[in-house]
Chains A and B, each alone.
Chain A
Amino acid sequence: MSVRGKAFIAGAYEHPLRTIPNKTVQQVHAEVAAGALADAGLSFSDVDAYFCAGDAPGFGALSMAEYLGLELTHIDNTETGGSSYLLHVQHAAEAIAAGHCHVALITLAGLPRSSGAGIGGAGRFGSAPEVSFENFFGLSIVAGYAMAARRHMYEFGTTSKQLAEIKVAAASHAQHNPNAFLQNAVTIEEVLQSKMVADPLHMLDCCVVTDGGGALVVVSPEVARKLSRQSVPVLGTGFAVKHVNNGRIDLTHTGAVVSGPRAFAEAGLTPSDIRYASIYDSFTITVLTTLEDLGFCEKGKGGEFVADGALQAPFGKLPFNTDGGGLCNNHPSNRGGITKVIEAVRQLRNEAHPTVQVPNCQFALAHGTGGNLATRMGSATLILGQEV
């Protein structure tokens, strides 16, 4: 079953704040839900499906359905880290296509800044079977991504300077986002001279830690037709799990190798059709590897690709993360994800900041990376358009 054109993103909302003291996580979920429904021109009573991930408190969708006061025919707690919310769009599209629901609400919210969590957060290890074999070696989230960067450098000659280009592009976009956590432009030298966190990743190779959240409303074609707001059709979806494969890990490829082609095939498009890309940017290396794996450049050539100004909006070969991304704008709950879809929707609606709005943005891609890079991860790719 293809979901191409069978579901539309009718509402998208990003919480404007990056530090939210004195509010509960569920309250921020409710605020972004209200924002996305208002954007769509719908109300809480229209919602018949609700999606959330591990950032939601308690029993997830069960607790939140009660808290929000929703009457539901469908719920989904799928948890794949930062890619959860992109996968939720796919699952919502599937459920809508199957006739199980008509108006699906997806929310993310978290308060890691106010709660004092560091980069990557505390992790959700619990009683996972791998814990005693991985987590007792001082493996920080950054160190895991740093090892992927180190291996990429070894295999393909990628440099720290090339990784820095990604932050430079994101920062140049963030200057135009009045809500961005970091709104200053940075130079390659500033990235390279920032504190080394886990070699070879510097502080400025890392995403921001922000409170906040976002929400999406995904609706059936019938509902979309009745709304005055421009809806964005879901054209292609792809998901992949990649794990350590009995210890035979491969740090230079992500699940995007599988999720990307699936999404492109469903959409009937190729990478050269994409005018704008939201690429999950927990770290600069996340972007570089993902660009290669999605087919925007040859494997191993990501460094050259980004050093050529490809990511700069509006006229680069592949303008990316025009909101400033997780590197500068927002990485709520230590897992952006939903903000990737929100900025893609803004681009397709021609509502990005005029300075970074991509002209004639007919097709956009949003990609989420959840978990650890290339080891235990969920990769989710969405291709969205202006019309079916």
Chain B
Amino acid sequence: MSFLPLADVEVNNETQPFWDALKNNALLLPRCTSCTSVVWYPRAHCPVCFSTELQWEEMSGRGTIYSYSIVAKGNGRWKESGPYVVAYVELAEGPRILTNIVGVAPTEVHINMPVQAVFDTGDDGRVLLRFTSESPS
């Protein structure tokens, strides 16, 4: 969907459900059944109360931009991708997560902008969670 590079992410037993869900266009995160925290990034325990009783739960995929930067020129595989937007998106469920804002002109991006998840999938099936304007312009 976007023209930004995808990546060979490292999938392990702690994160497998997250990556599997992205391929099905869903954002799944662990929620602690003890203290109810949504855990970011996914792992086998809750870093708030140390419980290992977590349940995968589908998130709304909605959020707002907490901060962002327009990168003029990236490094490595991103060298020709600029200008692109790196951002922290605050999910409606709480965590502020690192991502890219796509499908919107970089100059239109602003703090507090409502955004929604994009399951950015390549022809080879690789997928990254990115975000776009909630009401695409």
- Using a CB–CB distance below 8 Å, which chain A residues touch chain B? 118, 127, 129-134, 136-140, 142-143, 146-148, 150-151, 154, 195-201, 244, 246-249, 251
The answer for the CA separation of A351 and B96 in the assembled complex, in Å, is 47
The answer to whether B86 and A147 have CB atoms under 8 Å apart is yes
The answer to whether B67 and A247 have CB atoms under 8 Å apart is no
The answer to whether A248 and B94 have CB atoms under 8 Å apart is yes
Chain B nearest Cβ from A341, distance in angstroms: 30
The answer to whether B48 and A246 have CB atoms under 8 Å apart is yes
**Residue B88 lies at the interface, judged by CB distance under 8 Å to chain A:** yes
The answer to whether B96 and A199 have CB atoms under 8 Å apart is no
The answer to whether A251 and B67 have CB atoms under 8 Å apart is yes
The answer to whether A137 and B99 have CB atoms under 8 Å apart is yes
Q: Quick one: which of A130, A136, A195, A198 contacts B7, CB cutoff 8 A?
A: A136
The answer to whether A131 and B10 have CB atoms under 8 Å apart is yes
Chain B nearest Cβ from A136, distance in angstroms: 4
Chain B nearest Cβ from A362, distance in angstroms: 40
Chain A nearest Cβ from B106, distance in angstroms: 8
The answer to whether A198 and B40 have CB atoms under 8 Å apart is no
Known: A150-B111, A247-B41, A251-B88. A137 touches B98 (CB 8 A): yes
The answer for the CA separation of A249 and B95 in the assembled complex, in Å, is 8
Q: Quick one: which of B5, B86, B97 contacts A247, CB cutoff 8 A?
A: B97
The answer to whether A132 and B9 have CB atoms under 8 Å apart is yes
Closest to A145 in B: B69
The answer to whether A154 and B67 have CB atoms under 8 Å apart is yes
Complex interface residues of chain B between 83 and 105 (CB less than 8 A to chain A):
84, 86-88, 94-100
Complex interface residues of chain B between 47 and 97 (CB less than 8 A to chain A):
47-48, 66-75, 78, 81, 84, 86-88, 94-97
Q: Quick one: which of A148, A199, A244 contacts B70, CB cutoff 8 A?
A: A199
Closest to B83 in A: A199
Additional pairs, 4, CB under 8 Å, beyond known A129-B14, A138-B74, A138-B78:
A118-B75, A131-B10, A147-B87, A246-B95
Query: What residues of A have a CB within 8 angstroms of the CB of B71 in the complex?
Result: 138, 140, 142-143, 146, 197-199
- Is chain B's interface secondary structure helix, strand, loop, or mixed overall? loop
Chain A nearest Cβ from B59, distance in angstroms: 12
Closest to B130 in A: A137
> What are 19 contact pairs spanning A and B, CB under 8 A?
A132-B11, A136-B6, A136-B7, A137-B86, A143-B86, A147-B67, A150-B68, A151-B111, A154-B67, A195-B72, A196-B72, A197-B73, A198-B69, A198-B86, A246-B37, A247-B38, A247-B96, A248-B95, A251-B67
Known: A129-B41, A133-B41, A246-B47. A138 touches B94 (CB 8 A): no
The answer to whether A139 and B86 have CB atoms under 8 Å apart is yes
Q: Please, what's the 1-or-0 string for B95-137, where 1 marks a CB less than 8 Å from any CB in chain A? A: 1111110000000000100000000000000001010000000
**Residue B28 lies at the interface, judged by CB distance under 8 Å to chain A:** no
- Using a CB–CB distance below 8 Å, which chain B residues touch chain A? 4-7, 9-11, 14-15, 37-41, 43, 47-48, 66-75, 78, 81, 84, 86-88, 94-100, 111, 128, 130
The answer for the CA separation of A132 and B111 in the assembled complex, in Å, is 24
Known: A150-B111, A248-B96, A249-B96. A127 touches B10 (CB 8 A): yes
Known: A129-B41, A130-B41. A139 touches B98 (CB 8 A): yes
The answer for the CA separation of A272 and B10 in the assembled complex, in Å, is 49
Query: What residues of A have a CB within 8 angstroms of the CB of B78 in the complex?
Result: 138
The answer for the CA separation of A139 and B86 in the assembled complex, in Å, is 6
Q: Quick one: which of A118, A140, A151, A199 contacts B66, CB cutoff 8 A?
A: A151
Query: What residues of A have a CB within 8 angstroms of the CB of B15 in the complex?
Result: 132
Known: A138-B78, A138-B84. A148 touches B10 (CB 8 A): no
Known: A199-B72, A249-B96. A136 touches B9 (CB 8 A): yes
The answer to whether A140 and B75 have CB atoms under 8 Å apart is yes
The answer for the CA separation of A196 and B97 in the assembled complex, in Å, is 24
The answer to whether B88 and A147 have CB atoms under 8 Å apart is yes
Max count, chain B CB within 10 A of own CB: residue among A129, A133, A196, A251:
A133
Chain A nearest Cβ from B44, distance in angstroms: 10
Max count, chain B CB within 10 A of own CB: residue among A134, A143, A251:
A143
